[in-house]
Amino acid sequence: MVTMLYILTLFFTLGGMVLLWRERKSKVQSRRLLIEGMGQEDEIDDPLENKRSSLMERLVQPKWKQFKRSFRRSMPDQKQEKMELKLLRAGNPMGMTPFEYRVGQLVLFVAFPMLGFLLAWLGNLSFGRTFLIVLLMAGLAAYLPYVYLKMKAAKRSTQAVRELPDFIDLMAVSMEAGLGFDSALSKVVSKQSGVLSEEFQRCLEELKLGKTRKEALSGVRERVQVDDVKLLIGSIIQAEQLGVGMVQILRVQSEEVRQRRKQRAEEEAMKAPIKMLFPLVIFIFPCIFVVLLGPAVIQIMDVFSQ
């Protein structure tokens, strides 16, 4: 009975993963057709084609879409916005939507405990150990997605800090050449690739959709959780409100960013001896003691044995 329950759970879990993969594949194909100039209007429903479609497409996918709609309705808008912001801060890995992220969490929360139970069952462990393994696997499944997003966001933040000085210099040079702020930003974004280019490209798209410059730049500040980027955007917004020259602001920000990066490097260099102390005490010193005192201990043992 337990084995049958495990098989059914594994079947439905794999079925959900297959549906997610097929749906994402269809989204990619539709976007490719739109880019090539073939809109969705060109896709005419053919009854013969529908008959040739698989059982999964005709029976399972409508149920899946219905479940997807009900899941979205049950998820509050505020919570959905927070989850979308977390995904954007992490770089929107694998193009996930908040719904797909929640479904992935659910799949992991079901699959990991069942995997732990299967391993415990194959190992003929006691009930207490089996329960502990299942509990640990459930905690791991609940914790892994958050750790993944946090690591991706931290990696993007580090990359943004590394890209920021050169990005500011290119902006200043472009504006000194006579370009406006939006034109200079578009020029730099088109010539560079990276975290800042992606975020400011999104900023330019929001400007085209009707947002004010302050709102679009504030969106970048929310998505990139880096103090230097926040200070830069705050200075740009303040300079626009006060009518201060933007090139001068960018030059000052570039010097300050490089100075702060130098200070952080010096701080890490000063922390290095303290960080090296524990490995020395735990790993290096015992080996030195063995090398230095080992022969003496052997000679003393030989003397006492005689």
If phi over 0 gives left and psi between -120 and 50 gives alpha, with beta otherwise, what is residue 94?
A: left
Along the 306 residues of the chain, how does pLDDT read in single tens digits?
445 445 555 555 665 565 555 555 555 455 555 445 444 444 444 444 444 455 556 666 676 666 667 766 766 777 778 888 888 888 888 878 887 888 888 888 888 888 888 888 888 888 888 888 888 888 888 888 889 999 999 999 889 988 888 888 888 888 888 888 888 889 999 888 888 889 899 999 988 988 888 889 888 888 888 888 888 898 888 888 887 788 888 888 888 888 888 888 888 888 888 888 888 888 888 888 888 888 888 888 888 876
Looking at residue 121, its pLDDT comes to 84
Q: What is the pLDDT of residue 247?
A: 84
Count Cα atoms within 13 angstroms, Cβ side, for 295.
Answer: 3
CB contact set of 112 (below 8 Å; sequence gap of 6+) = 137, 138, 140, 141
Length of the chain: 306
Q: What is the pLDDT of residues 191-250, one digit of tens each?
A: 888 888 898 999 999 889 888 888 898 888 888 888 888 888 988 888 888 877 888 888
Which residues are CB-neighbours of 109 under 8 A, at least 6 positions away?
Answer: 138, 141, 142
Task: Give residue 18's pLDDT.
Answer: 56
- Whole-number Å distance between alpha carbons of 199 and 192: 12
Domain 158-261 sits in CATH 1.20.81: yes
What number of helices (H) and strands (E) belong to the chain? 13, 0
pLDDT at residue number 29: 53
Task: Enumerate the CATH 1.20.81 domain ranges in the chain, comma separated.
Answer: 158-261
- 204 Cβ partners below 8 Å, 6+ apart? 182, 185, 186, 189, 216
What per-residue confidence (pLDDT) applies to 151?
92
186 — phi, psi (to 5°)?
Answer: -65, -40
Backbone CA torsion sign across 237, 242, 247, 252: negative
pLDDT score recorded for residue 291: 85
